[in-house]
Structure 1
Amino acid sequence: MKLWHVDSSVLGDNSVSRQLTAGIVAREKALHPGLEVTYLDLAAAPVQHLSPAHIGALFGHQPEDAAVLADIATGASFLDTLFAADIIVIGAPMYNFGIPSQLKAWLDRILVTGKTFKYGENGAPVGLVPAGKKVIIASSRGGLYTPGNPGAAIEHQESHLIAALNFIGLTDVSVVRAEGVAVPDLKPRALANAEAAIAALA
Structure 2
Amino acid sequence: MKLLHLDASILGDHSVSRTVSAAVVAQLKDGTHDLEISYRDLADAPPAHLSAAHIGQGEPDATPSDLETGQAMLDEFLAADIVVIGAPMYNFTIPTQLKAWLDRILVAGKTFRYTESGPEGLAGGKRVIVAVSRGGHYGPESPASAFEHVETYLRTVFAFIGIPDPEIIVAEGVMVGPDGRQQAISTALDQAAHLQAA
Q: Which range, TM-score by smaller chain?
A: over 0.9
Aligned-partner residue type, residue 71 of structure 1: D
Alignment partner of 2:145 out of 141, 152, 171: 152
Q: Distance in 2 between matches of 1:54 and 1:95?
A: 26
Greater mean deviation of Cα atoms: 181-190 or 41-50:
181-190
Residue deviations 1:154-176 (CA, integer Å, cap 9, x gap) = 11111111111110112231011
Within the alignment, does 1:171 sit opposite 2:171 as a pair?
A: no
Cα RMSD of the aligned pairs, angstroms, is: 1.5
Aligned runs of 1:90-109 on 2, under 5 Å?
90-109=85-104
Question: Contact 2:105–2:111 (CA<8 Å) still a contact in 1?
Answer: yes
Q: Distance in 1 between matches of 2:194 and 2:52?
A: 45
TM-score, with length taken from structure 2 = 0.93
Q: Distance in 2 between matches of 1:164 and 1:53?
A: 22
Question: Contact 2:134–2:171 (CA<8 Å) still a contact in 1?
Answer: yes
User: Secondary structure of 2:140's partner?
Assistant: coil
TM-score, with length taken from structure 1 = 0.92
Q: Distance in 1 between matches of 2:74 and 2:54?
A: 16
User: Secondary structure of 2:144's partner?
Assistant: helix
User: Secondary structure of 1:150's partner?
Assistant: coil
Provide structure 1 residue ranges, at least 5 long, that are not aligned to the other structure. none
Alignment partner of 1:80 out of 75, 89, 100: 75
Alignment partner of 2:184 out of 163, 167, 190: 190
- Give 1:11 deviation, angstroms: 0.4
Question: Contact 1:133–1:172 (CA<8 Å) still a contact in 2?
Answer: no
Q: Distance in 1 between matches of 2:155 and 2:98?
A: 13
Provide structure 2 residue ranges, at least 5 long, that are not aligned to the other structure. none
Residue deviations 1:115-141 (CA, integer Å, cap 9, x gap) = 11111113x110011x32110000000
Within the alignment, does 1:132 sit opposite 2:99 as a pair?
A: no
